[in-house]
Structure 1
Amino acid sequence: MSENKEARIIDELMHQIVSNRLEPGTRLPSENKLANKYSVPRMTVRSAFAKLEQRGYIYSKQGKGRFLKEKSRQIELHLTGKNSFTEKMKNLGHDLKTRNIYCEQIDYDAKIYHILQAEKDGNVHKIGRVRYINGEPIALHISFVSEEMFPMIKKDGHAIESMFSYYHKLGYTEFTSSKSMLSVAHPTLDEQSLLACNSLVPLLIVETDCIDVTSKRILEYTKIIYRSDKFKYDITID
């Protein structure tokens, strides 16, 4: 029963937040006041506040109460189209930085090897990059490529920030994809650390392949993980 009342408290506060009935910086009602209003123990209200804080809507000040956070400006992201993430962000004027966090060989994965058309005894490497806008981590890009396709990837991979730039240097200039999949998941502990988010922030995951238009060769399989609270998504087809 207390769980239902906790959910009701959260829902009603969320309604006030999304309908802009509360201004950023507004002090929320006290635990005692809400406990009396909903006829629940203070712990129930405290738990509701904790969930809203975890979701990034409110913050607390020691001895002063809870307050509504300032809304962060969401970045418009065009999920379709042939431009790279780097090009899209720079074209929109965002201060984009990239940090390469690893290049490592993966264990055999039937799905990834099949997409890359890699031999079972071949080597596949994954290259991970964290994307930052205005110094804030907003996305994790993981590219899987076969060593057969890119013999120097083990050496080159640690310095790659943009896969498209790497491909351009190797003579690949035009790209397409055959299939893209969207899914939503909550972050793992590693993802929480890399993207500076908590466990309740949903992540939008885009999985796709990258094909060289001229040769029709599959260059990579990509998994891009976006902080869903940092973007609004344009799915208009070019």
Structure 2
Amino acid sequence: MTGSVTARHRDIADDLRHQITSGRIQPGERLPSETVLANRYAVSTVTLRHALAVLQGEGLVEKIHGKGNFVRRRLRKLLYVGGWGTLDPRTAADPTLRIILRSTTVLADAHLTTLLRVPAGSPLAEFSCLSFEGGSPYGLARIYIPRDLVPAGVLDDDSACREAAKRFGVLGVPPAAVRETVSARSPTADEASVLRIGSTAAVLAITRIATDSAGRVVEAALLAFPGERVDVVFTTHHVIDERQTSR
């Protein structure tokens, strides 16, 4: 891409962004077709698509296959509570939030072998949880449990499992400890497609490992949320040093 084309697509993105943020183009409104916009700005459709990609990466525009480009509606944020390893109760109880839950059995690959501390090829129950509000995806979780630790009925998509999945909580036996690793990164191709975000957008990724009292990993969860749609809260508890208070 030449410097002039680069500057032009950014100028177009700036103009469309201003129209969106000023309210001239309303949330949920469909943008004119790419051909119409390209003619309006006197550029090629390739340059126009680069401009739209900038806005898609910022979360301002959503491209829906077969329908066109739409101004993304302002979405409320989910609240994920670190330490609990779940969405906060009020968020999860919102009736507008729904979950698509699918389960299957997979064999542990190298990555899952490391996370769950099981031999390669061990059978695992895999739960894919995708949360929605209206038609907009909010978060994706893939949860893995050693097959011999799966509670009765969970693979049958029972109501208790669905409620836990709606909270993105631990699906298996109650753990003795939960360790969460949080990072911001670019989405994988699969995450970008499922969450309907641009490849340059940031996702908040959480790897959650639940262990029992003996230290065995009873569940591993890989969670991904679009960065602008989630807040994560951790609470620190002050520990009193008894040696100091006894002086």
Shorter-chain TM range is 0.5 to 0.7
Pair 1:223-2:226 in alignment = no
Q: Partner letter of residue 92 of structure 2?
A: K
Aligned equivalents of 1:132, 1:203: Cα separation in 2: 16
What's the RMSD between the two structures over aligned residues?
4.0
Instruction: Give the alignment's TM-score, normalised by structure 2.
Output: 0.65
Change (3 A) 1:10 1:215: farther
Of 152, 156, 175 in structure 1, the residue corresponding to residue 154 of structure 2 is 156
Aligned equivalents of 1:233, 1:115: Cα separation in 2: 25
Q: Percent identity?
A: 12
What residue number does 1:103 align with? 104
What residue number does 2:242 align with? none
Deviations 1:114-150 (A, max 9, x none): 3322234532232111112245321111111112333
Q: Partner letter of residue 127 of structure 1?
A: F
Change (3 A) 1:45 1:81: same
Q: Partner letter of residue 95 of structure 1?
A: T
Secondary structure of 1:148 counterpart: helix
Aligned partners of 2:17 and 2:55 also within 8 Å: no
Secondary structure of 1:178 counterpart: strand
Q: After TM superposition, give the deviation of residue 12 of structure 1 in Å.
A: 3.6
Q: After TM superposition, give the deviation of residue 6 of structure 1 in Å.
A: 3.2
Instruction: Give the alignment's TM-score, normalised by structure 1.
Output: 0.66
Aligned equivalents of 2:186, 2:156: Cα separation in 1: 27
Change (3 A) 1:102 1:17: farther
What residue number does 2:87 align with? 85
What residue number does 1:182 align with? 183
Aligned equivalents of 1:134, 1:53: Cα separation in 2: 22
Aligned equivalents of 1:67, 1:223: Cα separation in 2: 30
Change (3 A) 1:59 1:131: closer
Stretches of structure 2 that go unaligned for 5 or more consecutive residues are: 237-247
Aligned equivalents of 1:125, 1:134: Cα separation in 2: 28
Q: After TM superposition, give the deviation of residue 235 of structure 1 in Å.
A: 4.0
Aligned equivalents of 2:73, 2:225: Cα separation in 1: 18
Q: Partner letter of residue 147 of structure 1?
A: R
Aligned equivalents of 1:33, 1:130: Cα separation in 2: 38
Aligned equivalents of 1:9, 1:132: Cα separation in 2: 33
Secondary structure of 2:111 counterpart: helix
Aligned equivalents of 1:8, 1:211: Cα separation in 2: 49
Q: After TM superposition, give the deviation of residue 100 of structure 1 in Å.
A: 1.4
What residue number does 2:60 align with? 57
Aligned residues: 215
Pair 1:125-2:159 in alignment = no
Stretches of structure 1 that go unaligned for 5 or more consecutive residues are: 36-40, 61-65
Q: After TM superposition, give the deviation of residue 211 of structure 1 in Å.
A: 2.5
Aligned equivalents of 2:116, 2:151: Cα separation in 1: 14
Aligned equivalents of 1:183, 1:102: Cα separation in 2: 27
Secondary structure of 2:148 counterpart: coil
